[in-house]
Amino acid sequence: MSRLGLLEDFFAPMIDFRLMRYLLTSVQNKTMSATIKTPFSNIQQELLQLYARHISDDDLMNIKELIGQYFAKRLTNLADNARDRNQWTHQDMENILNDPNQ
């Protein structure tokens, strides 16, 4: 298995949890504070322009998955860089992930 594959497997539960928490928070914020007006971010503006027309539910799910994969890969790269910079072992990474103070 490649180094990237090992890291994806290692971080998969954490990524899924963070993604779920982000999505839930996003939905809660939209429903609970619909009156708050904030400017769109650059990515929101781009996506609004790109998808000004209706797309199928399948296409929407595929796009969400692609975006999730992109951010998962970025997280993996950040973790790789931190591990290399700090010379952490696999056990060090396990200790960090299982630290109850996290």
What is the tens place of the pLDDT at every residue in 33-85? 455 566 888 888 888 887 787 888 898 889 889 989 999 999 999 988 989 99
For the chain, the structural domain boundaries read 3-97
Tokens of residue 67, six digits: 């975006």
**What is the value of pTM for the model shown?**
0.49
Cβ proximity of 3 and 79 under 8 Å: no
The type of residue at 5 is G
Tokens of residue 33, six digits: 């504070």
Distance CA 40, CA 23 (A): 17
Distance CA 60, CA 54 (A): 10
